[in-house]
Amino acid sequence: MERLIKRLFLFISLFLLLLTTLLVSIFYLINSPKYYRISNKFTSIIMGHSHPECALNDSLIYGFKNYAESGEAYIYTYFKLKKILGANPQVKNIFIEFTNNQIDVEMNKWVYDDKFISEKFSKYYPIIPIETSFVFLNKNPASTINSVITGSVEHMKFLTKYENSKHVKWGGFIPPSMSKVDSIIKTLPISSIKEQGISEINILYLKKIIQLCKKNNKNIYLIRSPLHKKYFDLINEKQFQHTLKKNFSSIPFLDFSSVPFKNEEFLDLEHLNSYGAKKFSIFFKTFINNGGLVNNHPQNIIDSLSVIPQINE
């Protein structure tokens, strides 16, 4: 019995040592700035979830990089942004998607639910501080441990892949080409009741993002991507406007939600498809070229551009 206990103890200890060494190596190697450096031509970035991921084609806007990723809560956006700014001092303008569903209490699931931890924490844990990781471990230990393991495998694959100037694949424009709007509209409920809670953690990390940008003397803009007029989450519009005024009144808010798009330019009620994204990207570029970012009333420029036919055709 003694022999077994000794052997087992030694076996497990050595294995844990091996695992720890592996994890620490991955942590150290993956944090190298060379994996986050982008070309100096990129001076503006957009971050957020699937709305900007589908809406802005960065290849059509010079100097613009899309880092948005579907299912991303602000906690991940914050740590991503910290890393990107650390490696890319040339970045001056940061656009952060801020839309109706991001204040919703449902967003808490995007932080601590199994599916999201498995997908996001596994990818970003090397850039998340230990104390924050312990919060994840506390809230959802099984998924957190699992995601560290599966994430480590992916990071190892990335580190060992032979490729000149490797760069982490963090989000980016994904253009869906279909449209399901007509069929969705047919099956919409007559009325929908939404829970009125606010996601404190999401708001907290949006505030941290803003503080980070200010600390680094970056221009930060909140942006709401185009939405279909029948988008059901607009039901919390009053709460959304209240949250915006209460917490982010000093930050320019670029509201593109009412820019007119046809049904066939939407994937669904909250995402543009590739046709809509092309049109919106040109619209956005025109907005910037018309001094939208430096104007004290950018919404006026958005509204005025919205009625110009050649931009909307």
Partner 1 sequence: MLFNSYQYLFFLPIVFSLYWLLRNTLKGQNILLLLSSVFFYGLWDWRFLFLLAFSIILNFVTAIRIYNNRNHAKLLLVISVIINCTFLGIFKYYNFFIESLSSALLITNSSIQFNTLNIILPVGISFYTFHGLSYIIDIYYDRIKPTYNFVNYSLFVSFFPLLVAGPIERATHLLPQLEKERKFNYQQIVDGLKQILWGFVKKIVIADTCASWANQIFSYNGEQNGSTLIIGAILFTFQIYGDFSGYSDIALGSARLFGIELLKNFNYPYFSRSIAEFWRRWHISLSSWFKDYLYIPLGGSKKGLNRTVINVFIIFVVSGLWHGANWTFILWGFLNALFIMPSILVKSNRSNLEIIAKDKIFPSFKEGLLVLFTFSQVVLLWIIFRSDNISMAYNAIREIFSPSIFSHPHIFPKTPFLLIVIFLLIEWLGRNSDYAIKNILQKKSVTIRWTFYYILLLFVISYSGKDNVFIYFQF
150, 258, 274, 312: which one binds partner 1 (CB under 8 A)? 150
142 binds partner 1 (CB under 8 A): yes
4 binds partner 1 (CB under 8 A): yes
Q: Give the x/- contact pattern for partner 1 in 82-121, rule: CB under 8 A.
A: ------------------------------------x---
- In the bound state with partner 1, the residue whose beta carbon lies nearer, of 142 and 307, is 142
15 binds partner 1 (CB under 8 A): yes
Structure tokens at 59: 């290849």
24, 71, 149, 230: which one binds partner 1 (CB under 8 A)? 149
Question: ∠ CA(245), CA(248), CA(210), 5° rounding?
Answer: 175
Which stretch, 9-17, 32-40, 174-182, 222-230, contacts partner 1 (CB under 8 A)? 9-17
50, 102, 144, 152: which one binds partner 1 (CB under 8 A)? 152
24, 153, 185, 294: which one binds partner 1 (CB under 8 A)? 153
- Cα diameter, the chain: 84
9, 11, 62, 134: which one binds partner 1 (CB under 8 A)? 11
Q: In whole angstroms, give the CA distance from residue 84 to residue 159.
A: 18
Q: From 207, 242, 237, select the one nearest 222 (Cα to Cα).
A: 207
Q: In whole angstroms, give the CA distance from residue 44 to residue 281.
A: 14
| Shortest separation between residue 142's beta carbon and partner 1, angstroms | 6
Which stretch, 127-135, 145-153, 190-198, 243-251, contacts partner 1 (CB under 8 A)? 145-153
Q: In whole angstroms, give the CA distance from residue 269 to residue 305.
A: 22
Size of the residue set binding partner 1 (CB under 8 A): 17
- In the bound state with partner 1, the residue whose beta carbon lies nearer, of 14 and 307, is 14
Q: Are 140 and 117 in contact (CB under 8 A)?
A: yes
- In the bound state with partner 1, the residue whose beta carbon lies nearer, of 21 and 196, is 21
- In the bound state with partner 1, the residue whose beta carbon lies nearer, of 118 and 312, is 118
Residue 40: φ, ψ to 5°: -65, -15
| Shortest separation between residue 187's beta carbon and partner 1, angstroms | 24
| Contact residues: partner 1, CB under 8 A | 1, 3-4, 7, 11, 14-15, 18-19, 118, 142, 146-147, 149-150, 152-153
